[in-house]
Amino acid sequence: MIFPNKFQNAVKEAKSLVQPALDLSSKMMQEVALNSPVGLRERITQTVERPGKKLRSILLFLLAKSKNNEINDLERAARAAASIEMLHLASLVHDDVIDGSEFRRGVNSIHSSFGNKIAVLAGDYMLAQSMIFVLEEKDRRILQALAYSASSLAAGEILEIDLTGNMNISFEEYMQVVEGKTASLLVACAKCGAVLAGYDDETVEDCKELGLHFGIAFQIIDDILDYGIDAESLGKKKFEDLQNGLITLPLILYFQKNPREEMEQLVKNASDSDSANLIVKKLKSADCFNEAKSIARSHLSKAIEILRKLPPSRVNNQLRKFFETMAERKN
Ligand code: FPP
Ligand code: MG
């Protein structure tokens, strides 16, 4: 039996603080799926109804609630969150094509069920729907947040592809990929939440920084989980990054202070499970997973530091719990 860990509990408690907003944005997304043209309906519904953690919406709603202890305009906040979740789902549909991933959240990915052509177009349709969610939004800062993060997602993903197979990838290049492909969307969530809460410009900037640190930490942990470290019910295969030639933080840290030759050979053979397991063993004994985790924790500490500038409240406490436990997540 798997017991809920601290992060799962923190997510559950956080959800309960913003449940009506989460329900409304889920309903909006389901309506989009249901009203899609016939050829897309089943495919989009499959993506929208997959149970996700909804971390992006939770961050947006908690920040939107953090100033006045209520969300000022529920409908508007739900639209912004639905737009962000739809953009996120679109990028995952495309990402699964790029990575050739068979599963997403424990079920077949769109491309493995319906093929690449459909997956690319379904992702495009979802990207367009993401924009439609915010057509009526009057505050340009929300539109900017969404547009910039969509563009950073694509740029980050392209940089990652360009760096694929490059075993000399630097820490800085890795961080550039992480900021683009993951943190940019969390920056957008935090910015939208802060704008909707009615914070002044300086605080909106602080919140963007908070989103950036949370997003970086989130992707570092994702990259550690890909090695199967502390992973439970991942909903996807392990070693996908490694087998796709993606050199992530644990390996970058290894190469910084160990002889390269033997490890490079193992990475080239990572599709063989004995080699992949040996890589994990070596990374463990060189303490690279712990080191990567402590880099993630240092970003979470920076996010918590920024939280101290926001008004103290139950919502603020919940955000702190969310950040304090994220590095312990198992999926
Ligand atoms: C998952 O990374 C992928 C992303 C977070 C971003 C993917 C972005 C694109 C494909 C660009 C598309 C852009 C738009 C605007 C639609 P991962 O492969 O490390 O994580 P995973 O293990 O969950 O697949
Ligand atoms: Mg992927």
Give the CATH number, domain containing residue 213: 1.10.600.10
- The Å distance, Cα 184 to ligand 1 centre, comes to 11
Expressed in angstroms and rounded, the spacing between residue 200 Cα and the centre of ligand 2 is: 36
Query: In sequence order, which residues have a C-beta less than 8 Å from that of residue 60 and are 6 or more positions away?
Result: 77, 80, 81, 84, 189, 190, 192, 193, 196
- Position 1 scores a pLDDT of 43
Beta-ladder partners of 108: 103
**Percent over 90 (pLDDT), the chain:** 82
The backbone torsions φ and ψ at residue 103, rounded to the nearest 5 degrees and listed phi first, read -120, 150
- Asked if residue 314 belongs to a domain, the reply is no
Whether residue 166 sits in one domain with residue 99:
no
Does the global pTM surpass 0.75? yes
Contacts of 69 (CB under 8 A, 6+ apart): 313, 314, 315
Please indicate, yes or no, whether residues 303 and 229 belong to a single structural domain of this protein: yes
Residue 108 lies in a domain: yes
Any atom of ligand 1 within 6 Å of the Cβ of 150: yes
Which ligand is closest in space to the CA of residue 226?
Answer: 1
Summarised one tens digit per residue, pLDDT across range 157-195 is: 999 999 999 999 999 999 999 999 999 999 999 999 999
Q: How many domains does the chain have?
A: 2
**262 and 209 in one domain?**
yes
- What's the rounded mean pLDDT across residues 100-127? 91
Taking only the tens place, the pLDDT of each residue in 270-304 is 999 999 999 999 999 999 999 999 999 999 999 99
Average pLDDT over residues 100-109: 85
Question: What pLDDT is stored for residue 50 in this prediction?
Answer: 80
Inside any domain, residue 211 = yes
Per-chain mean pLDDT for the chain: 93
Residue 316: inside a domain: no
**β-bridge partners, 103:** 108
pLDDT of residue 71: 97
Domain end call among 76, 105, 138: 138
Determine, yes or no, domain membership for 3: no
- Does residue 320 lie within any of the structural domains? no
Q: Are residues 233 and 293 in the same domain?
A: yes
| 153 plus 290 within the same structural domain | yes
Domain end (from 88, 106, 138): 138
Amino acid, single-letter form, for residue 159: L
Provide the residue range defining the domain that includes 298: 142-309
Q: Which ligand is nearest to the CA of 219?
A: 1
150 in a structural domain: yes
For ligand 1, is residue 95 a contact (CB within 6 Å)? Answer: yes
Calculate mean pLDDT across residues 34-56: 88
Among 107, 138, 169, residue at a domain's last position: 138
- In a shared domain, residues 153 and 300: yes
Tell me: do 19 and 31 sit in the same domain. Answer: yes
274 and 163 assigned to the same domain:
yes
* 181 in contact with ligand 1, CB cutoff 6 A: yes
Q: Does 245 map to a domain?
A: yes
Whether 224 has a pLDDT exceeding 50, the answer reads yes
Question: Based on the domain organization, do 120 and 161 belong to the same domain?
Answer: no
Rounded to an integer, the average pLDDT of 185-207 is: 98
User: For residue range 49-89, what is the model confidence (pLDDT) as tens digits?
Assistant: 887 889 999 999 999 999 999 999 999 999 999 999 999 99
Residue 234 has pLDDT above 70, yes or no: no
Which of the pair, 329 or 85, is modelled with greater confidence? 85
| Residues 243 and 178 placed together within one structural domain of the fold | yes
Clarify whether residues 238 and 282 are in a common domain.
Answer: yes
Question: Do 156 and 208 sit in the same domain of this protein?
Answer: yes
